[in-house]
Structure 1
Amino acid sequence: MKNVNFPLINVIVIVMTLLLMNGIYAQATNAEETRTSENEKKDSNWIDEITSRVTPYGSIRIGAGFAEEGEIGISNNAPRIGLNFKHALSNNEAENFNIIGGIEFGVNLVSRDDTVEFAVDPGAGIAQVGDAVFTRLGFVGVSYQDFEFTFGKQNSVYYTMGAIEIDRFLAFGGAAIGVWNISDGGVSGTGRANQVFVLKYQKNGLSLGAQAEARNISENSESIDTYGFGANYKIGGLGIGVGYNKVNDGVEDPFPNQAKDGDEAFVASVSYEIDRFTVAASYAILKQHQRLGDIFYDAKGVEFYARYKFSTNKRWHVAAGFNYLKPDDDQNLGDFDTKFGITEVGYNFKKSSHIFAAASIDYSEDGIGDRRSQSIFGAGIRFGF
C-alpha cells in the first residue's frame, strides 16, 4: 500500500509547491506592477509638472517672389521657434513671485537671397548671420503682480511699446523707424537688445518699461552703455505708444559690435481698429542711428499701415501702406532716401497663420537721385503654432 500511495503523495507535494510558488510569483508580479505603475505615475506627474510651466511656440515663415528686373528667389521671412516658462514660487501665481524666462531660436530655412528679401528684420545678430540656427532671444527674470524684471537678450521697450503698433505687415515694412538699424538692433538697443536689463509694469491697458544695456562698449567702462524707456496704452480699439533709446557709452568710429557715440532714437505710434478696419502710423526722430556704409546720419522716418477685412468670415484682408526715411538736410547725403509702398492681400486660415501675396514698390534713391533698390513681388506663408 505504501508503494502505491507514495507517488500520489509526491504529486500532492509538487502541486502544493507549484501553487505556493505561483502565489509568491503573483504577489511579486503585483508588487512589481504596483511599483511600475507608481513610477509611471511619478514620471507622468513630473512631465505634467514641467509641461504645465513651459509654453512652446513657433512661426514658420517663408516667401518666394521675383524682382522687377526678373531675378527669382526664395527667402526666409524671419522664421523662429521658442518657448516661454513660468514657475510660481507659491500656489497663488497672481499675488506672489514667479520665475519667468524664455528662449527663441531663428531658423535659416533657405539660403539668404540678395535680391528677393521679405523681411527688414535680419533675424540673426551680426556674428550669427548665415547660421542654420541662431539665438534671437534668451532671458530669465522674476514677476510680481503687475511687475516684471528680466535680463538677457530681449525685445527692447523701444520696439515692444513704441513701435509695436505699426508692426502689422506680413512681409516688408519696418525700415523707417530705426528698430533694426544695425543687424537685429541688438547693439544700439532698439531691436533685440543685447545683455539688457528690462523692468516692465502692466495694468489696465497701460504698459511702462525701462531698460539698460551693460556691455562695456568703449574703454570708458560705463556701467550703463545704452538705456531706453517706453510706454503704451490701449483702450478699446485705440493703441498709443512711445519709445526712446540713447547710447550712453558709444564709440566715434565703431566696429560692427560697438554702438555709435551720439546714437539716439525716438518713436511714436498710434493705431485704431474698429470692426473690419485697422489703421496705424509711426513717426521716428533718429540721431546718428542710421548707417550708410561707414557713415552714421540723422534722419526722420514715417510708416503707415491700413487694412480691411473684406470677406464675410473676416479671414480675407487687403492692406496697403508705405515706409519713408529721409536724412536731415544738413547730413550732406544728397538725394539719398528710403521710400517704398506696400500692398498685400492675405488669408488667415488659423490663429497667427496666413497665406499672402505682397508687393514692395520701391522708389528709394541714392545720393545722385538714381533708384537704388528694385521692387519685389511675391507670395508667402506664415504658419504659427
Structure 2
Amino acid sequence: MNSKILKALVPLPCLAATAVQALPIYQSNEVTLYMEGYFTAHMVNTMGATQMQNGASRIRIGLNVPAYDKWDTGFNLEWGINAISSAQNLIIQGDQQAAPGDRGESLYLRQGHAFAKHPKWGDFVIGKQWSVYYDVTYITDWYNVSGGLASGTYALGTDGGVSGTGRADSAITWRKAWKFDAGEFQVGLQYANHVADLNISVEDVAGPNTLLVCPPGDCEYGQSQGFSAVYRANIGKGLFLGVSYNRVQMDIASNNGIVLNTALNGEPLVISNDFVFDADSNDWTAAFGVYYGEGAYEKGWYAALVLDRSQNNELAPAGSVEGITNFFDAKGSESFISYTWGANNCYSIYGGHNLLRSDDNEFDRALIRENEFRLKQIYLGAQYRWNDRVKLYFENAFDSSNDVAAPVVGNFTAVGFRVDI
C-alpha cells in the first residue's frame, strides 16, 4: 500500500488543549464585556432522508461589573442561531428545543438575565435562565445531537421555559454552595409568576356535537416554584447526588366558557358564552440524579443516571387521545456514559438511553392506538476533540418507541462538528 495512504489512515493527532475561556471584547478596571458560544451542525439520516441540520448553535454576550463588598454583578444575553436553514423543521430534540413561536426564526432568545453573586450570600439571578431543576438533570444531557427527552426538562415539546424546568422564563433563582473537606453541598430555589395562555378546547363536554373553548386569559400557567439540592462528594474521581422538584399551577377555570355547535356544516356556531367550568390542576416533576467521574468527556469513565416522575408535565402528539387533554403523568429515565482517553482527552466513546412511559390510567384508556405512551431510544456515539475549541462527532439513535411516540422520535445517524468561540 502506498505510504501516503498509510499516513492518511493514521488517526489525527490531538493538538495541545488549554482551558477554554470566554473571549474578552472589552476589559477595564470597572467592567468586563465578553462573548461565548459555538457553531455546530450535523448531517443527519433519519426517516429515509439525509439532510444538513442546525445544531444547538448559540452566542452569548455577558457583562461583569465588580461591585462593593465582593459582589459581582452583570447580565447575560444568549441567542440560539439557526444558521443552516431558518425554515427547517426541528426533528432532533433536547437542548435544541426552542419556544414554539421561535422555531422558524434565524435568531431567537435562549437566555436573558441579570445576576448578583456573593461568596457569602449566594447567587441571585433574575430573568430567562437555566432552572434549578436543571441543576440535577443536566448530568445526562451531554449528547451531541439528541437526548434530554425523558427527564422532564424540555417539557411539553418546548425549551422548558413555561414550565420552569429547562430555560425557565421570567424566573428568580437563588443558589448557595457550602464547601467542606468531604465535598460541596448546594441548594437552589426558584420562583416565577409569569402567565402563559393554555389553548384548551374539549369536545362533547356540554352535550353531543359541542366544543368547549376556554376564552383567552382564563386558562393559563400561573405561579411556579422549584427546588434543588446537590452534593458533590470527594470520593474517587467524584460522586454527584442530586434531587430537584418543580411545580406549576395550572389555572383551568372560567365563568365565560364558549360552547360551539359542531354539528352544522361550515363554521361552528356559538351557542353559549357563559359556560362555567373548573378543572384546576398542577404540573409537577421531580428528578433524582447520580454520576461518578470527573465529568462528561473528561479522562476516564463518566457514568450518569437521572430518574424522573411527573404529573401533567408531558404532552402526547395531537390526535393521539379521545375526549381528554393530551397532558399525561409519566415516569422517565436517562443515562449517559462516556470513556475518554488520549494525551489531551481527544478520543471519546459514549452511549446511553432515554425512556419515557405514561403512568396515567385515564390517559392510557383514552389512547386511540396502543395502551400507553412509550418513548425509548438507545444512543451510541464517538467524539474526536481536535483541540479544545474544535470537535467532530458521530452519533446513532436506535429507536423502539411505540406508535404514540413515533411522531416525535425516530432512528437517526448523524455526523457533525462543533467550533467554540
Q: Is the aligned partner of 1:377 residue 2:397?
A: no
Q: 5+ unaligned residues in a row in structure 2: which ranges?
A: 1-24, 198-216, 255-279, 319-324
**Residue among 382, 393, 401 paired with 1:356:** 393
1:196-241 deviations in whole A, cap 9, x for unaligned?
1111112323221111111145768999711101122222311122
1:130 aligns to what SS in structure 2? Answer: coil
In the TM superposition, residue 178 of structure 1 has moved relative to its aligned partner by 1.0
In the TM superposition, residue 307 of structure 1 has moved relative to its aligned partner by 1.0
Within 5 A, what are the aligned runs for 1:165-176? 165-176=139-150
Which residue in the other structure is 1:49 paired with?
A: 28
Q: Structure 2 counterpart of 1:210, which letter?
A: L
Which residue in the other structure is 1:339 paired with?
A: 376
User: Larger radius of gyration, structure 1 or 2?
Assistant: 1
**Residue among 333, 338, 345 paired with 1:302:** 333
Change (3 A) 1:374 1:222: closer
Change (3 A) 1:302 1:366: same
**Residue among 229, 232, 239 paired with 1:231:** 229
1:164 aligns to what SS in structure 2? Answer: helix
Paired with 1:63 and 1:50, the residues of 2 have a C-alpha distance of 41
Q: Which has the higher helix share?
A: 1
Q: Structure 2 counterpart of 1:286, which letter?
A: S
1:132-180 deviations in whole A, cap 9, x for unaligned?
1111100013222241111111111001x12121122222111001111
Which residue in the other structure is 1:245 paired with?
A: 246
Which residue in the other structure is 2:41 paired with?
A: 62
Conserved? CA contact 1:288–1:297, under 8 Å: yes
**Residue among 310, 332, 335 paired with 1:286:** 310
1:121 aligns to what SS in structure 2? Answer: helix
Which residue in the other structure is 2:159 paired with?
A: 184
Paired with 1:63 and 1:354, the residues of 2 have a C-alpha distance of 12
Q: Is the aligned partner of 1:269 residue 2:267?
A: no
1:96 aligns to what SS in structure 2? Answer: coil
Which residue in the other structure is 2:65 paired with?
A: 87
Which residue in the other structure is 1:148 paired with?
A: 123
Q: Is the aligned partner of 1:320 residue 2:351?
A: yes
Which residue in the other structure is 1:158 paired with?
A: 133
In the TM superposition, residue 349 of structure 1 has moved relative to its aligned partner by 2.1
The alignment-based identity, stated in percent, is 24
1:239-271 deviations in whole A, cap 9, x for unaligned?
122211001354379xxxxxx832000011111
Q: 5+ unaligned residues in a row in structure 1: which ranges?
A: 1-45, 254-259
Conserved? CA contact 1:165–1:240, under 8 Å: no
TM-score normalised according to structure 1 size: 0.77
Conserved? CA contact 2:31–2:66, under 8 Å: no
In the TM superposition, residue 97 of structure 1 has moved relative to its aligned partner by 2.3
1:188 aligns to what SS in structure 2? Answer: coil
Change (3 A) 1:169 1:370: closer
Change (3 A) 1:223 1:109: closer
Conserved? CA contact 2:42–2:52, under 8 Å: yes
Q: Which has the higher strand share?
A: 2
Q: Structure 2 counterpart of 1:232, which letter?
A: V
Q: Structure 1 counterpart of 2:378, which letter?
A: G
Which residue in the other structure is 1:120 paired with?
A: 94
Which residue in the other structure is 1:71 paired with?
A: 49
Q: Structure 1 counterpart of 2:110, which letter?
A: R
In the TM superposition, residue 329 of structure 1 has moved relative to its aligned partner by 5.1
Conserved? CA contact 1:225–1:250, under 8 Å: no
In the TM superposition, residue 285 of structure 1 has moved relative to its aligned partner by 0.2
Which residue in the other structure is 2:10 paired with?
A: none
TM-score normalised according to structure 2 size: 0.71
